[in-house]
Structure 1
Amino acid sequence: MDIDLADLAFWRKPLKERYEAFAQLRQLEHPVFFPEKRVPLLRSGQGFYALVRHADVVEASRNAKIFSSEPAVTNPEPPGWVKQVFGESMVNMDDPRHARLRRIVTRSFSPRMLQNLQGDIDAACRRIVDDVMAQGPRDFVAQVAARLPIHVICDMMNIPDELRAKVHEHVDISTAYTGLRPSLAHSVKMAGQNMLALFALQRMVIKLGHERMADPQGDLVSLLVTANPDGEKLTDKELGSFFSLLLVAGNETARNTMAHGVKLLTDHPAQRELLMSDYDAHINGAIEEMVRFVSPIMQFRRTVTEDYSLRGLELKKGDKVVLFYGSANRDESVFADPDDFDITRDTKPHVGFGGPGPHFCLGANLARQEMRAMFRELLTRLPEIRSVGEPELLVSNFDNSVRSQGFTF
Structure 2
Amino acid sequence: MTSQTVAVAGPDNPLQPEFWRQPGAAQREAFARLRRTDGPVLLEETARGRTFGLVRHRDVSAASRQPEVFRNAPGATTPPPARWVRTVFGPSMVNLDGPEHARLRGVVARAFTPRILARAEEDILRTAERIVERIPDGGPVDFVEAVAAPMPFEVLCRMMGIPDEERDRIRSLIDRASEHTGLDRTLARRLRSPGSGLRALARMHRIVARVGRLRQACPGDDLITRLVSPDRDGNHLTGRELGAFFSLLLVAGVETTRNALAHGLHLLSTHPEQRELVASDPDRFLDPAVEEIVRHSTPIHQFRRTVAREHAGGEGHALAPGDTVILFYGSANRDASVFPEPEAFDVTRSPNPHLGFGGGGPHYCLGAHLARQEIRAVLHALFTRYPEAHATEPPEVPPTSFDHRVSRLPFRTTVPRGTMPV
Q: Same fold (TM over 0.5)?
A: yes
Which amino acid is the alignment partner of residue 326 of structure 2?
A: V
For residues 8-407 of structure 1, the aligned pairs below 5 Å read 8-35=17-44, 48-110=51-113, 112-134=115-137, 136-176=139-179, 186-312=189-315, 313-407=317-411
Q: State the Cα distance separating 1:13 from its structure 2 match.
A: 1.0
Whether the aligned pair in 2 keeps the contact of 1:175 and 1:248 (CA below 8 Å) is no
> In 1, Cα distance between the equivalents of 2:370 and 2:385?
23
Aligned partner of 1:42 in structure 2 is none
Q: Is the 8 A contact 1:19 1:327 kept in 2?
A: yes
The gaps in structure 1 that reach 5 residues or longer are 39-44
How far apart are residue 116 of structure 1 and its match? 1.7
Structure 1 residues 36 and 94, CA gap change in structure 2 (3 angstroms) = same
CA contact (8 A) 2:60 2:332 kept: yes
Specify the code of the residue in structure 2 equivalent to 1:69: N
- Equivalent in the alignment of 2:416: none
- Runs of 5+ unmatched residues, structure 2: 1-8, 414-422
Q: Provide closer, same or farther for how the CA distance between residues 286 and 128 of structure 1 changes in structure 2, counting only shifts above 3 A.
A: same
- Tell which deviates more after alignment, 190-199 or 171-180: 171-180
Q: Deviations over 1:339-392 (max 9, x none)?
A: 000111124421000111000001101101111111111010011000011111
Deviates more, 1:107-116 or 1:313-322: 107-116
Residue by residue over 1:136-182, the C-alpha shift from the partner in whole angstroms, topping out at 9 and shown as x without a partner, is: 54100000000100001111122122221232233334445556586
| Structure 1 position 255, deviation (Å) | 0.6
Counterparts in 2 of 1:302 and 1:7: CA distance versus 1, 3 Å:
same
| CA spacing shift, 1:67–1:299, aligned 2, 3 Å | same
Q: 1:315 aligns to what SS in structure 2?
A: coil
Q: 1:228 to 1:348 in 2, by over 3 A?
A: farther
Equivalent residue, structure 2, for 1:6:
15
SS across alignment from 1:314: coil
* Residues 114, 178 of structure 1: alpha-carbon distance in 2 compared, 3 angstrom cutoff: farther
| 1:392 counterpart letter in structure 2 | E
> SS state of the match for residue 159, structure 1?
coil
Write the letter of the residue equivalent to 2:321. K
State the secondary structure of the residue aligned to 2:241: helix
Q: Deviations over 1:304-351 (max 9, x none)?
A: 011112543411110000000000000010000000001111244210
RMSD over equivalenced CA pairs, Å: 2.0
In the alignment, residue 350 of structure 1 is paired with which amino acid? H
Residues 18 and 93 of structure 1, relative CA distance in 2, 3 Å threshold: same
SS state of the match for residue 337, structure 2? coil
In 2, Cα distance between the equivalents of 1:47 and 1:178? 26
Secondary structure of 2:97's aligned partner: coil
Question: TM-score of the superposition, structure 1-length normalised?
Answer: 0.93
Q: Is the 8 A contact 1:76 1:180 kept in 2?
A: no
Distance in 1 of aligned mates of 2:360 and 2:143 = 32
CA distance in 1, matches of 2:233, 2:133: 44
* AA at the equivalent of 2:195: G
Measure the CA separation in 2 of the matches of 1:234 and 1:214: 15
Contact in 2 for aligned 1:109/1:363 (Cα 8 Å): no
Q: Deviations over 1:185-244 (max 9, x none)?
A: 654422212211110010001111111001001111111101123321111111110011
CA contact (8 A) 2:13 2:43 kept: yes
Q: Distance in 2 between matches of 1:172 and 1:408?
A: 25
Provide closer, same or farther for how the CA distance between residues 37 and 294 of structure 1 changes in structure 2, counting only shifts above 3 A: farther
Matched to 1:396, the amino acid is T
Task: Work out the CA distance in 1 between the residues paired with 2:239 and 2:274.
Answer: 47
Q: Which amino acid aligns with 2:166?
A: L
Change (3 A) 1:171 1:311: farther
Count of matched residue pairs: 403
Q: Structure 1 residues 182 and 315 mapped into 2: Cα distance closer, same or farther (>3 Å)?
A: farther
Secondary structure of the residue aligned to 1:393 is coil
